[in-house]
Amino acid sequence: MIALTMAEIAEATSGRFEASGTEATPESVVTGAVTTDSREVEPGGVFVAKRGEADDGHRFAPGAAERGAALLIVERPLEVPVPQIVVSDSVEALGALATEVVRRVRALGRLRIVGVTGSNGKTTTKNLLRTVLEQVGPTVAARKSYNNEVGAPTTMLELTEDTEFLVAEMGASGIGHIAHLVRMARPDVGIVLKVGLAHAGEFGGIEKTVQAKSEMVTDLLPTDVAVLNADDPRVASMAQLTRARVVWFGLAEEADVRATDVVVHARGTSFTVTVPGGESARVDFSVLGEHHVMNALAAVAAALQLDVPLDTIVAGLEQVTLAEEGRMQVLGGRDDITVINDAYNASPDSMAAALKTLAQVKRPGARSIAVLGEMSELGEFSGEEHDRIGLLAVRLGISQLVVVGEGARRLHISTINEGSWDGESAYVDTADEAFELVTSMARPGDTVLVKSSNAAGLRHLGDRLGEWFA
């Protein structure tokens, strides 16, 4: 974090400074990292004690003090010998502090900000942009999927006076959440990747999801840029809601940044990218899955708006070999058995894309095995979407399906009801049972996909299978 006095932090958070028995004064300066996890506190850092549904961060303040915290942001004074800023709401204070830090760094005239949202692909696009922009200047981007009201401002607080680019991933589980984050960061470039059924149960339907995602572009200024998916009609409709200049990406001919000659193989995806002005380049993209081409196009479109040359962008994309741990991660190798661990999260769109990739990359004459768990947070759409994925697995000719957990049982039932399968789908209750089944059935040359929502817990199964077949 940039250097701030405790008085400045108190003013930014509308809090009250308390020395708490130390020699600190309001003019004492803090420069350390800000975190809500006491285990991550570093000497000189700031610990924000937030209340959660299951626990209260104030309980961990003594641990933060032991780790060398220079300041605590709390909702009540604590008997801990560390200076404290007492605020009414710790999460709101975190956001307010992030807003002030972004404002101050922006005032230096170097910082440019990209906001990324969408039902799928946020983390991958953020990681691609980070790799591209790091070639040009100091860049800050979220770790993992830090994209909510806690993770996003925590990332913003990593800014320093030297930072040139901030890539802010912005997620939501309801109306107003993205707008709240946009007001903190004020992106120069706002990306909307896709609107699908991910979290539709939380939003209350697909139209509410569209409304929430459109918050990325509704407050952009005429001098800003909205990077929109030309292939998604719901995203395309957002062009009418923004004052910003629109740049389109996609496979459609009318897209400003588009991909052609897409070739999918077991080592990744190759495609030709064409940009405004007619310049084009071939990209040998090591991230597995045709669906990630759209994320790459979004990154290209955004980077171009930040004046990054196309050859630099392509070089950055080609450096990336993994979207994120647990996302289309290729493991295994023994007896030519490949394990694709894609169980970091799942929506109907990403589940369908993963199955299509499995069908595309399996070796000729060998089998494709899909180990699938529940797609969570779909609400009223859950049943029909699990049915749809089951039918897609049959139609893609997946050799063997292993369905794990009660939440995904309907997927198994829909496949056996299709009538064209005879024992190709198996149901088990636990990841341990799935492990035993897959390790006993796998043959040399097989390709195994593991896919589920994070809540289903199959990511560790994917890692375990990868180690077994290493």
Nearest CA-CA partner of 206 in 344, 349, 373: 349
- What gap in Å lies between CA 288 and CA 360, rounded to an integer? 11
Q: Are 87 and 15 in contact (CB under 8 A)?
A: yes
What is the DSSP code string of 197-256?
Answer: STTHHHHTSHHHHHHHHHHHHHT--TTSEEEEETT-HHHHGGGGG-SSEEEEEESSTT-S
Q: Are 451 and 458 in contact (CB under 8 A)?
A: yes
Counting beta carbons within 10 angstroms of the beta carbon of residue 397, is it exposed (0 to 12), middle (13 to 18) or buried (19 or more)?
Answer: exposed
- Residue 281's identity, in one-letter code, is A
User: Comparing C-alpha atoms, which of 117, 202, 149 is closest to residue 453?
Assistant: 202
120 labelled as ligand-binding? Answer: yes
In 3D space, the residue among 342, 336, 341, 343 whose CA is nearest the CA of residue 362 turns out to be 336
Distance of CA 71 to the CA centre of its chain: 30
Q: Is 35 annotated as a binding residue?
A: no
Given a contact cutoff of 8 angstroms between Cβ atoms, the answer to whether 329 and 295 are in contact is no
Give the tokens for residue 316. Answer: 């950055």
Residue 269's nearest CA partner among 295, 248, 249 is 295
Distances (CA, A) of 64 to 60, 209, 227, 378: 6, 38, 41, 37
417 is in an annotated binding site: no
Strands 139-141 vs 112-117: parallel, antiparallel or unpaired: unpaired
**Strand, helix or coil at 40?**
helix
- Helices 206-218 and 177-185, axial angle in degrees (round to 10): 10
271 bridge partner residues:
283
Query: Which residues fall within 8 angstroms of residue 52, CB to CB, at 6 or more apart?
Result: none
| 208 is annotated as contributing to ligand binding | no
82 φ, ψ to 5°?
-140, 135
Q: Which two tokens stand for residue 331?
A: 């493991």
Q: Which helix (H) or strand (E) holds 13?
A: helix 6-13
Q: Judge whether 121 is annotated as a binding position.
A: yes
> Binding site: which residues?
118-124
> Binding site for ATP: which residues?
118-124
